Structure 1
Amino acid sequence: MIERPRHNRVTPFGNIEATSHRGTLMGNRGDLHDDDGTVCRTWMLRRWISCTLHSPTGRRVTFDTPGCYTPLFFADDVTALAAGHRPCASCRRPAYEAFRAGWQDAFGEKRSAVEMDDVLHRARIDAAGHKVAFITSLRDLPDGVFVAGERSPGTAFLVRAGGLHPWSHAGYGKPVHMPVNRPVKVLTPAPIVRILKTKTLQIFD
């Protein structure tokens, strides 16, 4: 019997989908399960984090288990950031400290994880639970930010090295180019965009 892909892969829009493609990071938004183990909600906690695939404590990841956190998976770090997840302060400590330092550079003050999570939560989803996006000029965006497609709003594009790289669970397509003064719909939460502008985070290998 072939097992169906679990509903646990996250897109730059913050949506949770089912796909057979593997992720490079794991995430957490709390227990998203219904009583029968089905994923039925998009978040429970304001602490949205991205973690390594392997627990540093050696704990086994459990799936489809009500009462336990729901493991989520991301294609890469920039996808996790676009969805509104910050690096975990435990298993990704160096990345977390870089994120926190970038926060201080961007906003002028160092914040605790709880304080950052509160700000990020308001910047990633609205009161109705919908993705928060904003419009700005492409020229104002740093590498590592995702924008929505102009002709295909359901497609996400990664801004990198002067091009827009179409995203999918399987990887990135060939870059396309558009005028830098063109307004675009930004998917990455505004506070994270400001952090990426500081170039404190190492988001690409």
Structure 2
Amino acid sequence: MARRNRVTPEGEIVADPARGLLTGNRGILCDAGATLRWPYRHKAWICCVLDWKGNRQPLASAHRWTPLFFLDEAVALAAGHRPCGYCRRDDYNRFRAAWAGAGLGADPRAGDIDRALHAARICPRNQAKITFTAPWPDLPDGAFVRLPEGPALVLGDRLLPWSPEGYAPALPRPAAGEVEVLTPRPTVAVIAAGYAPALHPSAGAMSHLR
């Protein structure tokens, strides 16, 4: 049976056998019985490579961080994560540079980014995901939106509906109007400032934004 360790663009942790391109960390989320009990334990939500120098992390442990899994980096960013400064140092530095370029703070440190992202992704009162509304033309490639059918990735003139296994056939992107955005507002600004998230191959010909 699949463990509950797969993250959706909504930031929820669900059970699904698919694993995707990246893993991630929100702290120790499992109790002594290896049951997932908490959605997060600290503000440093990061996304990491699947294999770092052969180190293997227990999937469920009350004493070590709990690995989470994402289809790709766009999903991780939509959920509220950022690149790890250890195993993805180059990506982390690109993220920091785009953060500064977006006017979110000069020479940002990890703690600064984590506090800003936490305030933009989770409502402290009820732990619900924070979203915002934006005009369609303002959204950069790599952002996620909430459609009536579910989450979808913005990519050029297309919208790619998300599933745990990959992206479904494209829908046309509206040229006008507004939409509810899942990717946190600061991260949308970072993407617009030049940070291009890595996408799953099912995104098609534009899957490599870098």
* TM-score, scaled relative to structure 2: 0.91
Distance (Å, rounded) in 1 between the aligned partners of 2:66 and 2:6: 11
Q: Which letter maps to 1:76?
A: D
Distance (Å, rounded) in 1 between the aligned partners of 2:197 and 2:8: 20
Distance (Å, rounded) in 2 between the aligned partners of 1:59 and 1:146: 31
- Give the match for residue 187 of structure 1: 182
Instruction: Show structure 1 runs of 4+ deviating over 4 A.
Output: none
- Give the match for residue 170 of structure 2: 175
After TM superposition, the structure 1 = structure 2 runs for residues 1-205 of structure 1, keeping only pairs within 5 Å, are 4-56=1-53, 58-107=54-103, 109-127=106-124, 128-149=126-147, 151-152=148-149, 155-204=150-199, 205=208
Identity of aligned residues (%): 41
Evaluate the alpha carbon distance shift between residue 101 and residue 201 of structure 1 in structure 2; reply closer, same or farther with a 3 A threshold: farther
Evaluate the alpha carbon distance shift between residue 25 and residue 178 of structure 1 in structure 2; reply closer, same or farther with a 3 A threshold: closer
Distance (Å, rounded) in 2 between the aligned partners of 1:20 and 1:200: 29
- CA offsets per residue over residues 36-62 of structure 1, 9 Å max, x none? 110011000100000000123x33211
Distance (Å, rounded) in 2 between the aligned partners of 1:31 and 1:24: 21
Structure 2, unpaired ranges of 5+: 200-207
- Give the match for residue 205 of structure 2: none
Structure 1, unpaired ranges of 5+: none
Superposed CA RMSD = 1.2
Tell whether the 8 Å contact from 1:102 to 1:201 is kept in structure 2 after alignment: no
Q: CA deviation at 1:180?
A: 2.1
Tell whether the 8 Å contact from 1:95 to 1:201 is kept in structure 2 after alignment: no
Q: CA deviation at 1:109?
A: 1.3
Q: CA deviation at 1:174?
A: 1.2
Q: Which letter maps to 2:91?
A: A
Q: CA deviation at 1:201?
A: 3.4
Q: CA deviation at 1:202?
A: 5.0
Aligned partner of residue 21 in structure 1, secondary structure:
coil
- Give the match for residue 202 of structure 2: none
Distance (Å, rounded) in 2 between the aligned partners of 1:55 and 1:109: 30
Distance (Å, rounded) in 1 between the aligned partners of 2:14 and 2:123: 20
Aligned partner of residue 26 in structure 1, secondary structure:
strand
Aligned partner of residue 122 in structure 1, secondary structure:
helix
Q: Which letter maps to 1:196?
A: I
Q: Which letter maps to 1:67?
A: H
